[in-house]
């Protein structure tokens, strides 16, 4: 990987813990799952006279992913994006605004189909990016193994 490229499929599984660091979310199994929840975590008040550090605003990972995908797709018309009913949460909505429905597919709550559809597109020569939250990808894990990984498809 010295040249910064990969010549094989890569599966990235990020394990998360719901509500980590925010007790109300940790204690609520049915609430506070959103990427941008509508609540504020109180910040401790610094002691008087304490130096203030400039606030560094980092863009959300969803936006970084989406904008990076858009940049790549602007130079490669074989790139398409797939989501399973979560275009906003995955950033695919940003891709769709730029490229429209010709290159963006929302299959609804059908993660299994999203993965197999991506495999079919890859087998046909396209470069599908299938963005699914890990929690929901569990529904499509068999398809990930059988339809993508074993076939060595670039999804």
How far, in Å, CA of 125 to CA of 127, rounded? 7
What's the Cα-to-Cα distance from 20 to each of 42, 131, 135, rounded to whole Å?
15, 23, 15
Residue 37 has pLDDT above 60, yes or no: no
The residue annotated as part of the active site, out of 18, 31, 63, 97, is: 18
Residues 76-121 pLDDT 10s: 999 999 999 999 989 999 999 999 999 999 999 999 999 999 999 9
Instruction: List, for residues 17-28, the tens digit of each pLDDT value.
Output: 767 777 877 787
pLDDT (average), residues 134-145: 92
In angstroms, rounded to a whole number, what is the distance separating the alpha carbons of residues 26 and 30?
Answer: 10
Average of pLDDT values for 42-48? 79
**CA angle, 23 as apex, 134 and 25 as ends, to 5°?**
40
Q: Among this protein's residues, is 71 annotated catalytic?
A: no
Specify whether 18 is catalytic.
yes
Residue 131: helix, strand or coil by DSSP?
strand
Contact 102, 150 (CB under 8 A): no
> How far apart, in Å, do the first and last CA atoms of the chain sit?
19
Active site residue 139: yes
Residue tagged 């660091």 (tokens): 21
- From CA 100, how far away is CA 127, in angstroms rounded? 16
pLDDT band for 54, please (50, 70, 90 cuts): confident
Q: Which residue in 38, 111, 127, 152 is the catalytic one?
A: 111
């Amino acid at each position: 990987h010295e040249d910064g490229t990969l010549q094989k499929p890569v599966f990235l599984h990020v394990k998360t813990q719901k509500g980590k660091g925010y007790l109300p979310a940790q204690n609520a199994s049915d609430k506070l799952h959103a990427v941008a929840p509508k609540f504020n975590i109180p910040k401790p008040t610094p002691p008087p006279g304490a130096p203030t550090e400039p606030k560094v605003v980092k863009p959300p990972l969803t936006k970084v992913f989406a904008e990076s995908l858009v940049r790549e797709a602007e130079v490669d018309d074989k790139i398409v994006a797939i989501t399973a009913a979560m275009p906003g949460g995955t950033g695919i909505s940003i891709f769709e605004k730029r490229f429209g429905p010709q290159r963006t597919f929302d299959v609804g709550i059908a993660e299994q189909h999203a993965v197999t559809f991506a495999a079919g597109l890859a087998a046909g020569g396209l470069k599908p990016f299938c963005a699914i939250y890990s929690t929901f990808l569990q529904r499509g894990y068999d398809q990930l193994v059988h339809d993508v990984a074993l076939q060595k498809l670039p999804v």
